[in-house]
Amino acid sequence: MADLNIVLFEPEIPANTGNIGRTCVATGTRLHLIEPLGFRLNEKSIKRAGMDYWDDLDVTRYINYQDFLEKNPGAKIYMATTKAKHIYTEVQYESDCYIMFGKESAGIPEEILVQNPDTSIRIPMIGDIRSLNLSNSVAIVLYEALRQNRFNHMQLEGDLHRLQWK
């Protein structure tokens, strides 16, 4: 299985985190949550968005960004931000990389971004749109990383049963 990792830096909206958790379960991706969180992980809204998949989620919590770095030494981290110069499709995602997304109200802090300009990535948008929804952004970038890794160990074909009319 591709050992991709999604990192949420101080997420604020429980429904977004629930949706992202469900996406991670569906793709075999690990989820990393950097505190403080804007909610409690036992809130109904997280479980509602993540449905019954939340118990199957491989999730790790960190007390802060420094704790995350210390527990994941040498990790290749791509930082999704509207401030990046590189488009998310222009980088080559390693099968064990980490893709970080910032909190809904402010993104990843600039003091972190300025230290990582070469691994900062953006999703193109038109006009003065501030940003996309966090769970949508995660899905867009994660599926590009999965595609580049040939959807390793994922089901690639569906099973369509034809309805026969009598």
131 marked as part of a ligand binding site = yes
**Strand 77-80 versus strand 30-34 pairing type:** unpaired
Known binder of ligand: residue 120? no
Count the Cβ atoms, other than its own, within 10 Å of residue 52: 9
Query: Is 63 one of the annotated binding-site residues?
Result: no
The helix or strand, by DSSP H or E, that contains position 101, with its residue range, turns out to be strand 98-101
Q: CA–CA separation, 133 vs 86, rounded Å?
A: 19
Separation of alpha carbons 17 and 57, rounded Å: 12
DSSP string, 55-70: GG--EEEESSHHHHHH
| Binding-site residue ranges | 102, 123, 131
| Binding-site residue ranges for S-adenosyl-L-methionine | 102, 123, 131
